Structure 1
Amino acid sequence: MRLLFSIAFWLFFAVSSTGLFLGALVVWAVTRPFDADRRVLHLYSCFWAQLYFYVNPVWHLKVEGRERLPWKGAAVLVANHESLGDILVLFGLYRPFKWVSKAENFKLPLIGWNMHLNGYVPLVRGDRESIIRMMAGCERWLSRGVPILMFPEGTRSKDGEVKAFKDGAFTLSIQQRCPIIPIVLTGTARTMPKHGLVFQNSVHARVRVLEPIDPAGFAGDVQALRDHVRDVIVREKARMEAER
């Protein structure tokens, strides 16, 4: 049954993505004259991603604290990273932001093309020139009052434990004088199988948006801000898992 369900889901994913990308092109073209930041297109993309939760009876998602996210204004959103499914889950925030994502994802048919339309920010991990371009791209969006979202671990955790954070998000927060907003994910590791395409029996994913953290209190110390935010996420993740 799991195999048959998985086949049906991936067929639906492929067919629906074609139609939804055509819809994204229409939204992009119609809103371009009055929505230079592509906020409407991003919200459309949120619906696109969340559709796969709406139609999937074994995936369940609960989002808490969405009201802490700005509709407008610079902010750096940071989340722990458990699986590819984190991307679908975080689109469930339904707030405007720009993703920082691996450059390879932008090459994907339909999904990657939509990422280009949205103006998301590509990154080649370990490539110094790409990191410089990524930071500049994030600075441009933040200067326009558009939040960005990053996974400060840089890659998915293999065992569910929160890995060490990289400095980029926290450097941006301090330089741009905008808040860091921690976001904690649990239960997402089972949404997208890492090795294979067959789904697990059931997924109960949770997203909790925490209180914004003002970088001004860290006197320009990137490492202190980074370590504080990581500690906050680790503690909240443990609390959420205990609640479950």
Structure 2
Amino acid sequence: MLWLFSVLFWAFIVLTCPIFFVGAVLVWLVTLPFDRRRVALHLYSSAWASFYVYICPLWRLRVLHRDRLPWHGPAVFVANHASLIDILVLFALFRPFKFVSKQEIFKVPVIGWNMRLNRYVPVVRGSGASVRRMMELCDQHLEAGSPLMIFPEGTRTTDGELRSFKDGAFQLAVRHNVPVYPIVVHGTRRALPRQGFILRDHIKARVEVLPPLQPSDFSDVYALRDATRDAIASGLTTT
């Protein structure tokens, strides 16, 4: 019966997203004159995304050490990526970050419109020009005081194993001398693997914020990158 539940759940999301989007537009219009970083809109979007996580009877989510994340000031948040559900559960951190996401999601009706309102950062994988533009936009957000949320693997894992990390997130952290916060997302792949949209059995997902890493403590970008990956890999082995 999971296939029937999955159909009903996705249908519920499709039907309610336009309603939430109307609210997003209202928040955007009201706060536009004084909220340049669109913090209020992002927090509204966080509540919108989290709503679907917490109402799903198959999912249970724990967020650990959320208090480690700053409310103000630039930083780079990096998380492993195993499922589309990762995006929903990371919104449950309720911090005013800017997501870096593949361009295709920005083309999805309603969801993509909201991402553009929030000034999240699109990137086309494999396009050098797009990556350069992405880095420019990330530079601007960090200079304005907004944290970034980046999946350094670049795409979802295909087999559950942590992939190698790309350098971009760590180049940004070093260039702006801002902390990197490793974030472990555990259990989401069991809920919704990369292939298909049929939800699996009951899962207990966990999002855990690890202690920050300071660029000044490492010799170069690559050492910072490898230390971050090691921290997340270690976090994934714990239950």
TM-score w.r.t. the length of structure 1 is 0.96
**Per-residue CA shift, 1:40-64, capped at 9, x if unaligned?**
0000101111111222111111000
Identity %: 53
Instruction: Give 1:63's aligned residue.
Output: 63
| CA distance, structure 2, for counterparts of residue 193 and residue 211 of structure 1 | 28
Higher mean displacement: 142-151 or 1-10? 1-10
Q: How does 1:27-46 map to 2 (within 5 A)?
A: 27-46=27-46
Task: Give, in angstroms, the shift of residue 23 of structure 1.
Answer: 0.8
Q: How does 1:126-141 map to 2 (within 5 A)?
A: 126-141=126-141
SS in 1 for 2:138: helix
**Distance 1:193-1:160 versus aligned 2 partners, 3 A rule:** closer
Long gaps (5+) in structure 2: none
Instruction: Give 1:198's aligned residue.
Output: 198
| CA distance, structure 1, for counterparts of residue 193 and residue 48 of structure 2 | 20
| CA distance, structure 1, for counterparts of residue 14 and residue 225 of structure 2 | 38
1:235 matched to 2:238: no
Instruction: Give 2:154's aligned residue.
Output: 154
Instruction: Give 2:77's aligned residue.
Output: 77
| CA distance, structure 2, for counterparts of residue 92 and residue 171 of structure 1 | 26
**Per-residue CA shift, 1:183-224, capped at 9, x if unaligned?**
0011011333433322111121100001111101124x1111
| CA distance, structure 2, for counterparts of residue 192 and residue 15 of structure 1 | 20
Letter aligned with residue 201 of structure 1:
D
| CA distance, structure 1, for counterparts of residue 163 and residue 107 of structure 2 | 27
Tell me if structure 1 keeps the 8 A contact 2:46–2:92: yes
SS in 2 for 1:94: coil
Aligned residues: 239
- Structure 1 runs of 4+ aligned residues shifted over 6 Å read none
| CA distance, structure 1, for counterparts of residue 192 and residue 97 of structure 2 | 23
SS in 2 for 1:93: coil
Instruction: Give 1:142's aligned residue.
Output: 142
Instruction: Give 1:93's aligned residue.
Output: 93
Letter aligned with residue 130 of structure 1:
S
SS in 1 for 2:149: strand
Letter aligned with residue 175 of structure 1:
R
Instruction: Give 2:119's aligned residue.
Output: 119
| CA distance, structure 2, for counterparts of residue 218 and residue 53 of structure 1 | 37
Letter aligned with residue 225 of structure 2:
R
Instruction: Give 1:212's aligned residue.
Output: 212
Letter aligned with residue 231 of structure 1:
D
Instruction: Give 1:17's aligned residue.
Output: 17
TM-score w.r.t. the length of structure 2 is 0.97
**RMSD value over aligned CA atoms?**
1.0
Task: Give, in angstroms, the shift of residue 11 of structure 1.
Answer: 1.4
Tell me if structure 1 keeps the 8 A contact 2:103–2:122: yes
**Per-residue CA shift, 1:99-118, capped at 9, x if unaligned?**
00001110000000000000
| CA distance, structure 1, for counterparts of residue 191 and residue 51 of structure 2 | 14
Task: Give, in angstroms, the shift of residue 28 of structure 1.
Answer: 0.5
| CA distance, structure 1, for counterparts of residue 188 and residue 63 of structure 2 | 12
| CA distance, structure 1, for counterparts of residue 20 and residue 41 of structure 2 | 11
Tell me if structure 1 keeps the 8 A contact 2:81–2:153: yes
